[in-house]
Amino acid sequence: MRLSKVSAISLDLDDTLWPFGPAVARAEATLLAWLLQHAPKTAGVLASPAVLRDLRARYEGKNPHLAHDYRALRLGSILLALEMAGEDASLAEDAYDAFFAARQQVEFFEDALPALEWLSARFPLVAVSNGNADLKVTGGHHFFRAALSAGTFGTAKPAAAIFHAAAAAVDTPPAQMLHVGDDPDLDVAGALGAGLQAAWLVRPDGPHTAQWQRGGARPHLILSDLQSLCRALAG
Ligand SMILES: [Mg+2]
């Protein structure tokens, strides 16, 4: 497919502007340290941050209706750890706050901020994320006209509604929106299904490189970094 007129751009956040894995790993290490300090009996059930990840997966398995509510999933899994350890369940909210603050400590990919600067000078930008990063805390907020997240908007990618809301936020017809993201299903198929154009960002060590090798999606553009998006739009 060839790119047609682009009047505005929506961007995914996790694994598009910064690597998600290291941010979550740091946040889980912070959460573990917080729990060991404030609820010391959790030491008996939490041998490593990996246990926190397992608890969250277990909690999600039992609560599929919460699949896109990352706060509820994390909070529920913290409660589970506190209960298993015989600790005070009322500590869960404060523990979550410690996790959430650490989750916002992201490290942008080298190309991300220069690309956002270039793009934002030429196009209105909208963030569209299923995660719960807060651009005001991570940095980069000033490049965006609007930010939609599944948690606050109520619908997650790949549903068309969140893409249409992104287009409406910058008064642009969906067909003139270009959505950029790393996930071939949530970002590429989602955007195409909503009538947007799509750019698939496949970073060399990204989580979806194998799908790219199998030819997993049919976007308008395939990018290895965000500077190449600027080049494509400048040309
Ligand atoms: Mg992503």
Spatial separation of the C-alpha atoms in residues 122 and 9, rounded to whole Å: 10
Which among 132, 165, 126 has a CA at the least distance from the CA of 147?
126
- List pLDDT tens digits, range 33-45: 999 999 999 999 9
Per-residue pLDDT, 123:
98
- In the reported structure, the alpha carbon of residue 36 is separated from the centroid of ligand 1 by a whole-number distance in angstroms of 31
- In the reported structure, the alpha carbon of residue 165 is separated from the centroid of ligand 1 by a whole-number distance in angstroms of 18
Look at residue 224 and tell me whether its pLDDT is greater than 80: yes
Looking at per-residue pLDDT, the higher value among 213 and 117 belongs to 117
Domain final residue, candidates 103, 124, 146: 103
CATH number assigned to the domain comprising residue 47: 1.20.120.1600
- In the reported structure, the alpha carbon of residue 40 is separated from the centroid of ligand 1 by a whole-number distance in angstroms of 35
- In the reported structure, the alpha carbon of residue 33 is separated from the centroid of ligand 1 by a whole-number distance in angstroms of 27
- In the reported structure, the alpha carbon of residue 182 is separated from the centroid of ligand 1 by a whole-number distance in angstroms of 5
Provide the residue range defining the domain that includes 138: 8-19+107-234
Looking at per-residue pLDDT, the higher value among 212 and 97 belongs to 97
Spatial separation of the C-alpha atoms in residues 128 and 21, rounded to whole Å: 19
- List pLDDT tens digits, range 167-177: 999 999 999 99
| Structure confidence at residue 1 as a pLDDT band (50, 70, 90) | confident
- In the reported structure, the alpha carbon of residue 91 is separated from the centroid of ligand 1 by a whole-number distance in angstroms of 31
- In the reported structure, the alpha carbon of residue 85 is separated from the centroid of ligand 1 by a whole-number distance in angstroms of 34
Which among 211, 155, 154, 165 has a CA at the least distance from the CA of 188?
211
Q: What is the pTM of this model?
A: 0.90
- In the reported structure, the alpha carbon of residue 53 is separated from the centroid of ligand 1 by a whole-number distance in angstroms of 19
In the predicted model, what is the mean pLDDT of the chain?
93
- List pLDDT tens digits, range 94-137: 999 999 999 999 999 999 999 999 999 999 999 999 998 999 99
Question: Is residue 176 domain-resident?
Answer: yes
Look at residue 163 and tell me whether its pLDDT is greater than 80: yes
Per-residue pLDDT, 158:
96
Write out the residues surrounding ion ligand 1, Cβ under 5 A.
Answer: 12, 14-15, 182
| Structure confidence at residue 69 as a pLDDT band (50, 70, 90) | confident
Per-residue pLDDT, 209:
74
- Shared domain for 78 and 117, answered yes or no, is no
Question: Is residue 50 domain-resident?
Answer: yes
Look at residue 216 and tell me whether its pLDDT is greater than 70: no
- Shared domain for 71 and 99, answered yes or no, is yes
Per-residue pLDDT, 121:
98
- In the reported structure, the alpha carbon of residue 34 is separated from the centroid of ligand 1 by a whole-number distance in angstroms of 27
CATH number assigned to the domain comprising residue 186: 3.40.50.1000
With contact defined as beta carbons under 8 Å apart, do 201 and 180 qualify?
yes
Out of 102-116, 122-136, 188-202, 203-217, pick the least confident. 203-217
Look at residue 22 and tell me whether its pLDDT is greater than 70: yes
- Shared domain for 62 and 167, answered yes or no, is no
Which among 72, 19, 28 has a CA at the least distance from the CA of 46?
28
Which among 66, 71, 130 has a CA at the least distance from the CA of 95?
71
Spatial separation of the C-alpha atoms in residues 139 and 17, rounded to whole Å: 11
- Shared domain for 124 and 222, answered yes or no, is yes
- In the reported structure, the alpha carbon of residue 15 is separated from the centroid of ligand 1 by a whole-number distance in angstroms of 5
